[in-house]
Amino acid sequence: MSKDVLIKAEHICKYFRVSGGRSLHAVEDVNLEIYRGETLGLVGESGCGKSTLGRTVMGIYKPTKGKLYYDGKELDLHSTKARFDFTKKAQIIFQDPYASLDSRMTVGSIIEEGMEIHNMYDARRRKERVGELLKTVGLNSEHASRFPHEFSGGQRQRIGIARALAIEPEFIVCDEPISALDVSIQAQVINLLRDLQKEMNLTYLFIAHDLNIVKYISDRIAVMYLGSIMELASSDELYRETLHPYSQGLLAAVPIPDPKKENDKTHEIISGDIPSPINKPKGCPFNTRCPKACDICRQEVPALREVRPEHYVACHLVK
């Protein structure tokens, strides 16, 4: 039985103009499908293009090249009306709970704003919904009259989640939603997102750099490097049989609290710095840091291909 594809990205590129007439290639020829009701984790080092891809999929950025499909229909992100209609179906939870909430607005106004823009309910019902949403995310309806500065980081992120849920979307981009939070609060927010997904049949693109968190919440994981997808597989499969040298290096960098297991790691931690997306290396994007790189890696860009059932890798050396 074929899976129900909710979001499809087809050859998506996103470039930004920089000084000297050059282009920063933030996202390079990405093909991706996100199934209805799943969580697709997107991981990689800082600056690899994860957030740019998430914002492009959301329609915040217009793709330089490529096409986006929602529920089988192509999205015209150059049309203001089409983008507006899409925001009713797709929302985003931002990384920084301090910068993403307007300090001049009350919490109730922040959550209600989307409902008002989309002409949802009358004024009385919107107020009721604000109270319901605050309770849903673990806060109190009385919090609606307060301002963001009166809340902790974890509480602010809950407010951001309530805002995203207010217009009843099907798809939510979670753009590193816990990276700015204390470790003790991170698990609470992750569990809240999981519970909400089950209750509301939500679909997530979950962006993060912490592989342990991504494994916990994701059904499938895509590994990104320098704007390209290097590996894509189910969460269990990716951790059981990591095939791409970059994915192997990311996993090697994850600390294990058991000293014996830490010493038994078989993969090397990645050395060197990520190249500039303004001046990318020829061939495989990872070849300048890959311990296994050979001539073909320095000449040809590898295609993302299925090497195991539902396990995709962009590497010339993986058979």
Residues 25-58 have pLDDT tens digits of 999 999 999 999 999 999 999 889 999 999 999 9
Q: Which residues of 131-163 are buried (b: 16+ CB within 10 A; e: fewer)?
A: bebbebbebeeebbebebeebebbbbbbbbbbb
Do 174 and 64 fall into the same domain? yes
Q: Which amino acid is at 253?
A: A
pLDDT at 260: 54
Q: Indicate whether 261 belongs to any domain.
A: yes
DSSP count for the chain of H helices, then E strands: 11, 12
Q: Give the pLDDT of residue 266.
A: 54
Q: Are 51 and 180 in the same domain?
A: yes
User: How far are the Cα atoms of 122, 243, 248, 251 from residue 240, in angstroms, in the given order?
Assistant: 51, 10, 11, 11
Write down the pLDDT at residue 285: 95
Q: Which residues of the chain have pLDDT under 50?
A: 1, 262-263
Pairing of strands 203-208, 171-175: parallel
DSSP 121: S
pLDDT at residue 183, as a whole number: 87
In a domain, 314, yes or no: no
Q: Are residues 247 and 176 in the same domain?
A: yes
Tell me: do 160 and 179 sit in the same domain.
no
Distance separating alpha carbons of residues 97 and 1, to the nearest angstrom: 40
The reported pLDDT for the residue numbered 256 is 66
Q: How many domains does the chain have?
A: 2
**Contact status, residue 288 vs residue 275, Cβ threshold 8 Å:** yes
* In a domain? residue 220: yes
Measured at the alpha carbon of residue 30, what is the angle toward residues 26 and 35, in degrees to the nearest 5? 125
| pTM of the predicted model as reported, rounded to 2 decimal places | 0.92
Contact between 211 and 254 under an 8 Å Cβ cutoff? The reply is yes
Please state, as a whole number, how many other Cβ atoms lie within 10 Å of the Cβ of residue 67: 14
